[in-house]
Amino acid sequence: MKNNQNLVKGIFIGMGVMAMVAFAAEKTFTLKFSETDINKHYQKLSIIKQIVDNSNLAHQDVMFVSKSIDSLQADILTQVKAQIEPAPATKK
């Protein structure tokens, strides 16, 4: 009988912890760079990608690094475009 009570308590505690974790807010960070700095970092990522492509690393490792750099560069472009282009006018 005591085992059942402990099991039920464990289930409720587990559900409570899951509920608390499920509602955690996502944090957003904004980094500010000058245009020359962002261009420099973008170019350095391209150079790193070329070095990795020419290295003796395993194909799987090269693909992982290349895809990670591509993803980071795509995020950089998205953020820069969002800051440069004016927001579309909303209709009332």
75: nearest Cα among 44, 26, 25, 31: 31
pLDDT digits 0-9 by tens, 26-80: 666 677 788 888 888 889 888 888 988 888 888 888 888 888 888 888 888 888 8
CB 64 within 8 A of CB 88: no
Residue 59 exposed, middle or buried by CB count within 10 Å (0-12, 13-18, 19+): exposed
What three-state secondary structure class fits 86?
coil
Residue 24 has pLDDT above 70, yes or no: no
Domain range enclosing 65: 2-84
Q: Residue 31: inside a domain, yes or no?
A: yes
Q: Residue 92: inside a domain, yes or no?
A: no
pTM over 0.75: no
Q: How many domains does the chain have?
A: 1
Q: Residue 90: inside a domain, yes or no?
A: no
CB 61 within 8 A of CB 23: no
CB 51 within 8 A of CB 59: no
How confident is the model at residue 9, as a pLDDT? 73
How confident is the model at residue 21, as a pLDDT? 64
CB 65 within 8 A of CB 49: yes
Q: Residue 76: inside a domain, yes or no?
A: yes
